[in-house]
Amino acid sequence: MTKKSIFSHPKSDFPAGLVVFLVALPLCLGIALASGAPLFSGLITGIVGGIIVGALSGSNVSVSGPAAGLTVIVLAAIESLGSFQAFLVAVVLAGVIQLLLGFLKAGIVSHYFPSSVIKGMLAAIGLILILKQIPHALGYDADFEGDDAFMQADGENTFSELINAVGALQPGAIIISVLALAVLIIWDRPKLKKITFFRIIPGGLIAVVLGIVLNQIYAVAAPDLALAQDHMVRLPVASGFSEFLGLFTTPDLSIITNPQVYIVALTIAIVASIETLLCIEATDKLDPQKRITSTNRELKAQGVGNILSGLIGGLPMTSVIVRSSANIDSGSKTKLSAIIHGVLLFITVIFIPNILNMIPLASLAAILLVVGYKLARISLFKSMYSLGWDQFVPFVITVLAILFTDLLRGIGIGMVFSIFYILRNNYRTAFHYNSEDNGKGQKINIRLAEEMTFLNKGSMLLTLRDIPEDSEVVIDGTHSKNIDHDVKEVIQNFLETAKHKNIKLTIKNIGQWKNHTTGL
């Protein structure tokens, strides 16, 4: 099949890139604020993540930028290294490490995340988006955009923030968010999608424009409803080109001999790589065309992105599920949409920052609420339940763990439960056991599975231990491709047991026992 150009679907990718830009803008600023870094550093990361990583990545739908999961690490690192300029050295080194990991083919790690855990992660992020955006939709903007942890830096948590929001309602914001939601729902109707206008113009753009217009009307006709600047996007505004250039920061290379900078770099590289691989695995599942991304290429792209971001004053980046899912939901077909979002960030920050600062956070909350709903549909929970407890339990545990901790801890807890079920199933299906009474005693056939690892040692040991005296036993390894030494050792020990229990034992095609019979 001929590889298509990234310009093959502009009618889908341009609107998607515009929506991702609108979603990414406040997230870049919010994450920079929470990281204790200059606000412009978050925008630099978004621009580099969109244009550079978007071009180099093998993914058609993922979008990179500053990640909420790194805020605590960044905040602590800036403090420990003494300055933001010193921290930038660690960002550059982290990019170098990621580049090396890509060449070492470390991306294969992503293939070992169970599907139940990845789907749990998507559902959890959907629920987090809903819970975290409700306060912004109600006009309560105390928490920074992009926070996805249960416990917040201000001592509040996800649920206490909802209570606080109910006690501080902003009618003007509620009207904007409700109308924006109505626009997004109507825009998504299948009948309207057949009309060219509704296909080309994204509903997210209309929702944002509607919010700007309504707030301007409030200011003239109903001042009590008008939203203050702290309820709007807050971009840094440069008065001239020289002041704009001053927003960029270069790394302080004098710290290169400090061992602490290498520890920080390694920490960022590992955490950012894990988050990226998780996101890539998740976006491949969300991609309607089910394309598979080269994870090693992605690590290389992220490495280049972090090197460049660190050199010009940006935060570390990862592939980010919120922006990526908004991209997919908006109909993106190729990586062009990610590049467009980066270009739009760059152009608008230079030329129209004052207009962007008129966007109400309530309008953007409506967009993210819709994205969250689509990630955490009830149908997903039903489909996981229908697959059985070994899939449903790790899925639900992952959802709850991420909700009440953070992304990486939640994934870790979900992995533990998933591994438990994998081990249990492996224990149960290590071999096929068939027993019948031949009148003189039991005749037992044990046919080993294709892969017999040390994980099967326990079940094999217990099964052989419980075989009664005077039995005829056949252990058949004909269909096995690999039999671990631990399993062979159990069989070796059973040879001695069989003599004492008067068991006739036949071993077929296992190691040194090609066709061995004892106990005649």
- Give the percent of the chain with pLDDT over 70: 97
Mode of pairing for the β-strands spanning 513-518 and 504-510: antiparallel
Collapsing DSSP to helix, strand or coil, 65 comes out as strand
pTM above 0.95, yes or no: no
Do 66 and 317 form a contact (C-beta atoms < 8 A)? Answer: yes
Q: What is the mean pLDDT of the chain?
A: 92
- Confidence at residue 1, expressed as pLDDT on a 0 to 100 scale: 39
- The C-alpha atoms of residue 340 and residue 16 are separated, in whole angstroms, by 9
- Residue-wise pLDDT tens digits, 89-141: 999 999 999 999 999 999 988 888 899 999 999 999 999 999 999 999 999 99
For residue 424, pLDDT beyond 90:
no
Sign (positive or negative) of CA dihedral 178, 182, 188, 193: negative
- The C-alpha atoms of residue 310 and residue 294 are separated, in whole angstroms, by 24
- Residue-wise pLDDT tens digits, 457-479: 888 888 898 899 889 999 999 88
- The C-alpha atoms of residue 169 and residue 175 are separated, in whole angstroms, by 11
Label each residue of 101-145 as H, E or C.
HHHCCHHHHHHHCCHHHHHHHHHHHHHHHHHHHHHHHCCCCCCCC
For residue 471, what are the CA distances in angstroms to 19, 442, 468, 493? 71, 5, 6, 17
Do 97 and 269 form a contact (C-beta atoms < 8 A)? Answer: yes
Phi, psi of 158 (to 5 degrees): -55, -45
Read off the pLDDT of each residue in 449-454 and give the average, rounded to a whole number: 82
519: pLDDT confidence band, cut at 50, 70 and 90?
Answer: low
Read off the pLDDT of each residue in 314-327 and give the average, rounded to a whole number: 97
Amino acid (1-letter code) at residue 171: P
Sign (positive or negative) of CA dihedral 475, 479, 483, 486: negative
For residue 192, pLDDT beyond 70:
yes
| Residue indicated by tokens 């924006």 | 180
Read off the pLDDT of each residue in 430-446 and give the average, rounded to a whole number: 78
438: pLDDT confidence band, cut at 50, 70 and 90?
Answer: low
Sign (positive or negative) of CA dihedral 148, 151, 153, 154: positive
- Residue-wise pLDDT tens digits, 49-74: 999 999 999 999 999 999 999 999 99
